Structure 1
Amino acid sequence: MLRRFVSAAFDLARSTPVSAVIAAGMGLLLAGCGATPSTCAGGFCPLPAAADSAEAVRQGDLGRGIRDYLLAHPEVLLEAQQALAAKQAADRQAQARALVARNHDALVADPEDPEMGNPRGDVTIVEFFDDECPYCKMMAPTLEALIRTDPGVRVVLKDIAILGPGSEVAARYALAAKRQGKYAAFHAALMADKTPEHQLTEAHLLEIAARLNLDTARLARDIQAPEIMGRAGRNRALAQAIGVTATPGLVIGDSVQTGALTPDALAKAVAAARARKAQAP
């Protein structure tokens, strides 16, 4: 009998949130006195009816067995919480993959998006970033290194300009630089720039443009183009639609990651995306 108690308690704790385990244990303990939580109110439990006494004893023994096992093995509760966290993370990723699939063309097939790497790569990374975001600046060399070492990677860049007016203007200047064939150089300069958050000015952006031999007069015209003016806003809406809540936000194949990744973590995420794609029907 005790072995069954232990097995039942272990299975219950592994597959059920801690609050539910406690509630179940309380229910079983209360059942041992033949009552429900409401009938035990007031500090006492009524005696069970004679006809129900055998079942009540059995339920009471089971409740005590589960309680004793959990007290003797509290690590089971931690295992249950870890299993719950893993299930919730898997559920979130499944939901994110469905959202990525629903927004596939907007994510990877917009001809106006700047991109790096192999245009025909078998794995596409979409980065939602901000030109003033320090974590995006940390991520930039990692992405560049990946492109150099993995010829099968394509990177699509989507500036969402969430850190204020400086970010918004920088996004527009970068897209205007794309019209002169110098987006990559301008983007790299912004990622390497040491200006603190919220202090990026248009004057500084013009200095960068001049250093890169961009036509600043043309830039001034192009940043007013309607498709450039509204692009960061459209990118923000897309990021929200797929559940990206911070920068950098990365869509790697069909999975969504938030935050800067180490080179090793990024390489593993790309490998996993590649494997999922190979297994897809």
Structure 2
Amino acid sequence: MGKRFAGLVTATLFFAMPFTASAAEPLSPEQKEAVKALIRETLISNPELLEEAMGILVKKREEQEMAERKAELDRMGAAAATHRAALERDAKDPTFGPSDADVTIVEFFDYRCPYCKQVADRVLNVAKADKKVRVVFKEYPILGPQSVVAARAAIAAQALGKYVEFHQALMAWKGQMDVDSILKVATSVGLNADKMKTEMAKPEVEDRLRTVMSLGRSIGISGTPAFLIGKQLVPGAVDEDYLKQLIADARAAK
């Protein structure tokens, strides 16, 4: 169909050539109108060409967008490579899994992000099933003040020794993320509300958030969830099978 469309347009222009004085001279207004009339007649006689032309245009735009997206992910991956230690081995980050794991999953997330909530259990399920996988949690509250409150609470839960339990409970929480609601979630996993409030108010909590936010921005992360697995930076919600494939790819690349 693409060749047919191009051929008909070429033929239309060819038949318009007698109206031109020479190839080097511009078309006169009358000649331009004659060319337009021939093209219009061709399209009226072959209306399917319009649909074909739109299909070609959409495909080209999709290919261009894919190429631009790949280039952006490659750039972000290169930026991440320069921050490998901060991403995978910052002692202040909460983690799950063995310290000698051969593959590390780094996840940037926001507790108010619906896609982060979708993948929360998937990430932990994969890590629990594969004893050589380690997860590094990066609090990345980009969806407003309540996200910041939730992230501060999670860091407080880490200090109190119940990060993963609180993380899972807060990801499962469906309501608002104001202080009262978050403390309710905290007590549901055995945390003391007063101790949580004390920890949340500590300046090192704010310092930690600032550090992680700066790291994410330096890489170019603008949405959540975002994963770094091996050398691959993967944005968006992923299923367990894809996570396992990314882990296998990371191992094969070593």
On whether the aligned pair clears a TM of 0.5, the verdict is yes
The 1:213/1:95 distance shift into structure 2, 3 A limit, reads same
Report Cα offsets for 1:54-75 as digits up to 9, x if no partner.
xxxxxxxxxxxxxxxxx9x989
Report Cα offsets for 1:66-93 as digits up to 9, x if no partner.
xxxxx9x989888766765554444333
1:49-198 matches, cutoff 5 A:
87-195=67-175
SS of equivalent to 2:108: strand
Cα distance between partner residues in 2 of 1:90 and 1:267: 21
Cα distance between partner residues in 1 of 2:140 and 2:210: 7
Cα distance between partner residues in 1 of 2:206 and 2:61: 47
Cα distance between partner residues in 2 of 1:82 and 1:194: 36
What is the CA RMSD across the aligned residues, in angstroms?
3.0
Amino acid at match of 1:227: E
- Is 2:121–2:168's contact at 8 Å kept on the other side of the alignment? no
SS of equivalent to 1:246: coil
Identity %: 35
The 1:84/1:202 distance shift into structure 2, 3 A limit, reads closer
Amino acid at match of 2:227: L
1:219 is aligned to 196
The 1:84/1:112 distance shift into structure 2, 3 A limit, reads same
Cα distance between partner residues in 1 of 2:101 and 2:30: 70
Aligned residues: 219
Cα distance between partner residues in 1 of 2:119 and 2:143: 17
Report Cα offsets for 1:83-120 as digits up to 9, x if no partner.
65554444333212210111212211211101112222
Cα distance between partner residues in 2 of 1:86 and 1:131: 29
The 1:85/1:275 distance shift into structure 2, 3 A limit, reads farther
- Is 1:248–1:258's contact at 8 Å kept on the other side of the alignment? yes
CA shift at 1:236, angstroms? 2.4
Cα distance between partner residues in 2 of 1:168 and 1:86: 33
CA shift at 1:155, angstroms? 0.8
Cα distance between partner residues in 2 of 1:79 and 1:194: 39
- Is 2:146–2:178's contact at 8 Å kept on the other side of the alignment? yes
Cα distance between partner residues in 1 of 2:111 and 2:119: 12
The 1:78/1:247 distance shift into structure 2, 3 A limit, reads closer
The 1:211/1:85 distance shift into structure 2, 3 A limit, reads closer
- Is 1:118–1:153's contact at 8 Å kept on the other side of the alignment? yes
- Is 2:183–2:196's contact at 8 Å kept on the other side of the alignment? no
Give the alignment partner of residue 40 of structure 1, picking from 5, 11, 26: 26
Cα distance between partner residues in 1 of 2:216 and 2:242: 22
SS of equivalent to 1:230: helix
Cα distance between partner residues in 1 of 2:27 and 2:184: 75
Amino acid at match of 1:213: G
1:14 is aligned to none
- Is 1:129–1:136's contact at 8 Å kept on the other side of the alignment? yes
SS of equivalent to 1:214: coil
SS of equivalent to 1:124: strand
Cα distance between partner residues in 1 of 2:103 and 2:130: 10
SS of equivalent to 1:100: helix
Give the alignment partner of residue 220 of structure 2, picking from 220, 237, 243: 243
- Is 1:99–1:241's contact at 8 Å kept on the other side of the alignment? yes
- Is 1:177–1:183's contact at 8 Å kept on the other side of the alignment? yes
Gaps of 5+ in 2: 4-8, 32-48
